[in-house]
Each structure stands twice: as structure tokens, then as C-alpha cells.
Chain A
């Protein structure tokens, strides 16, 4: 039986108190929401916090409110978000991304805050203590080299959130509560540039809420590539949000790639290219050809990285076609579905 390392557990009822406990314990404490990412990592000894601060007792932490914009309590489960009537109607891409995370069982516990903060992944890192000791630890935990890119000074673990690319594409923000204050940060600025320091969030800051703007006039899609229809982390996530004018002319567009780098990657050049152009077969191909360049998959996830890189171009094109209302090129669903 894989078991957790020992810890003390606090269950504060306010975010401020949670932040204070985290701050008081420095690096010895970690916050836990659904636990679906943290607990497996703890069982493999990626983390051995002496103190866990459970967030689920925080008042109102899991509320979903849809007025003009959408406010998701950070402790709202991915199932709750994927099934929420207002989210499905007005932010279907949010429901879709939430509904594509892991498996139904995990989504019942996993939270939106947790998924935005999900630890970066690498198949040299997400292994047991025995396995990592055997290969010689990597710099993300207990070692000093990057095993996938041995010459690298930084860690190449992969940002593996399904919701982060979507939230960035939608211009969402998050609230971070510290012991002594509160700030709002665009999700686009939440991520660092390194697989270890992957969050631009102080350890004691508690992510309490995600704010998604009103999206009337926008179309958005999220496409996820993975080996199996369930359970798996993304091999690639493509989020596209676009505001199209007459004759599908792009007024604004954001393309964000997941699982191709240590952080979600905004394909900014492709967006610049598309603005002002009609979204048609030709411009889509051109944009996809630009969009895939910043993707940097390495040999630390499922399947061959050259293939994963190549898929970026294909999936971006398909996502754009979906937004444009063109046939995506996907194989049609089976007759029995």
C-alpha cells in the first residue's frame, strides 16, 4: 500500500487564517484542496510537508456565481463546474475543460484552484522515491540535474493543467489571499518560467477565486490530446478564444497551448497574424504553422516528443476551424456513439 508521510492537519474556516498558518510554517506547510494531485505526490515523496492546510472548510470556498461574469470559488470541484447549468450555457469552454480533466472520479474531488496550481509533471519526476533514487534524483526533487535535458540549468517538467490554457485564453483572473493582503492576478501571469518555480504565487498565498469575464461575442474551444479518453493528463491542450466580426474576420483572438512547456504558452505571433484576417482555411493553416513554434515538448511524457510537437500545428488548426464553424478534420464519431 502506498501511504502518505505523516503530517499535522489544519482546517481553517477562512482564507486569511489559512494564509496565516501557511506563512507561520514557512516551507513546512502546504495547502490542499481536493488532494488529487498533492496526495499522490506525497505518497511518492515528492512532497513531505509537516503541516497540511485543508482549504475545503473555508466559508464559501466552492461557490459558483454567474452574474455578468463568472466567479468560481477555488474549491468548486471540476464536476460541479462541468455540470453547472449557467457555466455550460454561457462559458461552455470552461465546462468542457473542467470536464476533460483526469477521470470522473478524480473530478469529483479535484478543484478548479487545484487544477490551476497543479504541479508540473515529468516522467522522471512523477515516480516513487525508490525509482527516483535508483535513477539518481532530478533537480525538481532531491537532485541537481535535469534528467530529460541534462545540459539545462532549469527544470523542464510540463505544465499539465487543462483549465489554465482556457482561463488564460478567456482573460480570467484569480484572487490570491495573503496573511496581510489580497491581490488579483491574471491567470496569464500566474505561471513562472521554470518547472520547479512554476507558480508566481508566494507559498503562503491562497488562491480563493477565479473570475472569468463575460464572454458574449466570443467563441471559444478547448481541445485535449491524450492516449485514452479518460484518466490521462493532456499530451497537448489547445485553448482558442476568438471574437469574430462579419465574414469571420478576427477582431481578437487568443491561442493558448497546454502541456508543451513548463507553463501554458500563449501563441502570440499567431494571434497577431490572425487579427484583422478572415478566419478561413488558408489563414488557419498559416496561423497553425506559426502557433506551434513556441511549443517545446521533450521526452518526459507519453509518446514521442517530435510527434507531440507536430500535433500542436494540427490541433491548433482544428481548434481554429472549430471556432470558425468549419469542419475540423476529426474522424467522425463511431456509428454506435
Chain B
């Protein structure tokens, strides 16, 4: 198979790789660049699992070609955390919004773009933004709450940590 040299800017780093032109961004990220944080659930654009950001927009890496991404800024889940977790990652962890964790990178990246545009999103805005990312574990509710919590923290507010807030249980 004829391979081509690609120069991709991923998480702020210039990366070079050799790959056939028909290998998708998903394949190249995972198989050539070792960025396994990008997962895949269908490879047909139907589930949102492989979401990455290209020039700040969430797209499906299973339906993007590296050749179409050269010169553009690619961001994967590996680019979200520095020494500390991104506020979204922290909130997802605290609320148990990542159960199996497989769809989580896609949700995090999609949510990140929402919070850049809309620092105080309504529940409906969150649901609409995340409507292309499927999750089978959570029923989405903890994900919604996590996005709201992260948004509040990113606005500089100090909402109570879900790890300290009381949760109602009833003695049966």
C-alpha cells in the first residue's frame, strides 16, 4: 500500500507520520500516533465515540481524512489535561459521569466546545450539543450535571463539590 507523509498538528505538537491516504484520522491517531484516547464505536459516523476537535470544532475522526486536516489544529482527549485535569474532566470524575469511560473522550471534547461558546449553558443547550454522542451507561444525566458543574467552576464560581454534598437515602 502506497504511503504518504502527513504533517499533523495534534494537541499543539507537530507530528509526522506515514500512512496510506485512505486511512482516516481515527486510524492515524490510534495506529500511527499512538493516541489511544480516541475510541471508536461504529466507524460510520453513527455514535460520536471518535469525536476529536479540528480547528476547535468537534468532528468525527472516523469520517475525516488526515490529508483534509493538514494545517489545522487537532485536539484529542490527551490534549485536555496538563498537570491537572481540565475542569470538565474533574467534574466527570467527581460525578461518576464516566462509567465505562469509553464514550467519555468524545463527550468531553464536544462539551469543551460548548463551554467556550456558552459559559452558562442551559440543560437543553447541553443536551442538544451532546446529541450526537451516544452513551449506554449513564443515561446522560450525570454527564449533564458534570458539564454544568465544570461550567460553574470555569466561570469562577465555587459550587459545592459533589464529593461533599449530601445525597438523600431513605431508611426502608
Contacts and interface: CB of A to CB of B under 8 A. Distances in A.
Question: Do A and B touch directly, given a CB cutoff of 8 Å in the complex?
Answer: yes
Interface of A: 1-9, 11, 35-36, 39-40, 43-44, 54, 56, 79, 102-106, 108-109, 229-231, 336-337
Contacts of B27: 1, 3
A337 B128 CA distance: 11
Contact of B45 (A6, A7, A40, A56): A40
Contact of B58 (A11, A35, A105): A105
Given A3-B27, A104-B130, A109-B63, 19 more contacts: A2-B43, A2-B44, A3-B24, A3-B43, A4-B22, A6-B22, A8-B21, A11-B68, A35-B68, A39-B62, A40-B46, A44-B44, A104-B132, A105-B48, A105-B132, A106-B45, A106-B60, A230-B128, A336-B123
B35 interface: no
B99 interface: no
Contacts of B130: 104
Contacts of A35: 63-65, 68
B129 interface: yes
Contacts of A54: 65, 67-68
B21 A1 contact: no
Contact of A337 (B21, B43, B59, B124): B124
Interface of B: 1, 20-24, 27, 40, 42-46, 48, 51, 57-60, 62-65, 67-68, 110, 123-124, 128-134
Contacts of B58: 104-105, 108
16 contacts: A2-B62, A3-B22, A5-B22, A6-B21, A7-B22, A11-B67, A36-B45, A36-B60, A40-B46, A44-B44, A54-B65, A102-B132, A105-B58, A105-B133, A106-B60, A229-B131
A163 B64 CA distance: 23
Contacts, number: 94
Nearest to B110: A105
Contacts of B67: 9, 11, 54
A40 B44 contact: yes
Given A1-B27, A105-B132, A336-B123, A39 B45 contact: yes
Contacts of A9: 21-22, 65, 67
Contact of A104 (B23, B65, B129): B129
A82 B69 CA distance: 23
A19 B67 CA distance: 20
A3 B22 CA distance: 8
Nearest to A83: B117
B40 A43 contact: no
A2 B132 contact: no
A108 B52 CA distance: 11
B51 to A, nearest CB: 6
B73 to A, nearest CB: 14
Contacts of B129: 104
B40 A103 contact: no
Nearest to B21: A9
Contacts of B46: 40, 231
Contacts of B57: 79, 108
A125 to B, nearest CB: 14
Contact of A231 (B22, B51, B124, B131): B131
A1 B45 contact: no
A3 B26 CA distance: 10
Contact of B59 (A2, A40, A56, A109): A109
A102 B60 CA distance: 13
A40 B21 contact: no
Q: Which 5 A-B pairs have the closest CB atoms?
A: A103-B132, A230-B131, A105-B132, A2-B43, A4-B22
A33 to B, nearest CB: 10
A106 B42 CA distance: 14
B58 to A, nearest CB: 5
Contacts of A106: 45, 60, 63, 132
A105 B26 CA distance: 15
Nearest to B70: A11
Contacts of B45: 36, 39-40, 102, 105-106
Nearest to A105: B132
A1 B44 CA distance: 10
Nearest to A79: B57
Given A8-B21, A79-B57, A231-B46, A1 B40 contact: yes
Most chain B CB within a 10 A radius of its CB, from A1, A103, A231: A103
